Amino acid sequence: MRTNEKSRLIKIFFVGWLVAAAIGILLVISFVENKKLDNALAFMKQNFVSANIQLQHYKQELDIQEQTTVDFMQWRYVLKDQVSGASQELAKRINKVRDIKKDRELLNLLYYNLGLNAFTAFDFKAAIDAFSEALKYDANDSKSNYNLGLLYSAFRQDTARALKYYKRFLELSPNAPEAQEVKDNIRSMEKR
């Protein structure tokens, strides 16, 4: 073999060796990068699974809260319908009693209960009407005076009427459990 050929073969071998080394280095770098990528993907997968579990937990809680809200709203309307129905029935009975016998004490009690039913059903106008009617049969009914004071104060914002009924309540029941609350309400309304 000639020297040139030998030299050329050595160069080719050397260049081949450099290319093989470069390819080997690139393969090692690629392997390391793939390993990092695999680790990053595994980490992301783990976080995704954890986030998915939390999301399912929050979804369950939200479903429970939503169902509780729906149940409450349905219960409220059922109760309101029942109370409203009971109020109508009580009104019919009052009319029968009124026709049969003019018992003022009984009529006062019936109208007072009708007022409580209307109040429970959030029918504040009907409650005011019923408590007012109760007072027609017994002007000394402190509880009807108290409830009218409360209704005119809180729901009608009619301070003058609220004060009238609250003061009458205190005249009739100065030592009632609600007396201090009523006194505080009166002070508050008179400051306005």
DSSP-derived secondary structure for 98-139: HHH---HHHHHHHHHHHHHHHHHTT-HHHHHHHHHHHHHH-T
Q: Answer yes or no: do 144 and 188 share one domain.
A: yes
Q: Answer yes or no: do 125 and 146 share one domain.
A: no
Is 152:162 a contact under the CB 8 Å cutoff? yes
Whether the pTM exceeds 0.95: the reply is: no
**Phi/psi zone of residue 178: left (φ > 0), alpha (ψ -120 to 50 degrees), beta?**
alpha
Q: Answer yes or no: do 133 and 158 share one domain.
A: no
pLDDT digits (tens, 9 = 90+) for 77-133: 555 666 666 666 666 666 665 555 567 888 898 899 999 998 888 888 999 999 999
Q: Give the range of the structural domain holding residue 80, as residue numbers without chain letter.
A: 69-138
CATH number of the domain encompassing residue 170 = 1.25.40.10
Last residue of a domain, one of 104, 120, 138: 138
| Mean predicted confidence (pLDDT) in 168-173 | 92
Neighbours of 161 (CB within 10 A): 15
CA pair distance 83, 120, nearest whole angstrom:
7
CA pair distance 145, 131, nearest whole angstrom:
8
Instruction: Judge whether 13 lies within some domain.
Output: no
Instruction: Judge whether 4 lies within some domain.
Output: no
Provide the pLDDT for residue 48.
57
Tally of domains in the chain: 2
Instruction: Judge whether 152 lies within some domain.
Output: yes
Can you read off the two tokens belonging to residue 45?
Answer: 């997968």
Provide the pLDDT for residue 71.
59
CA distance from start to end of the chain: 120
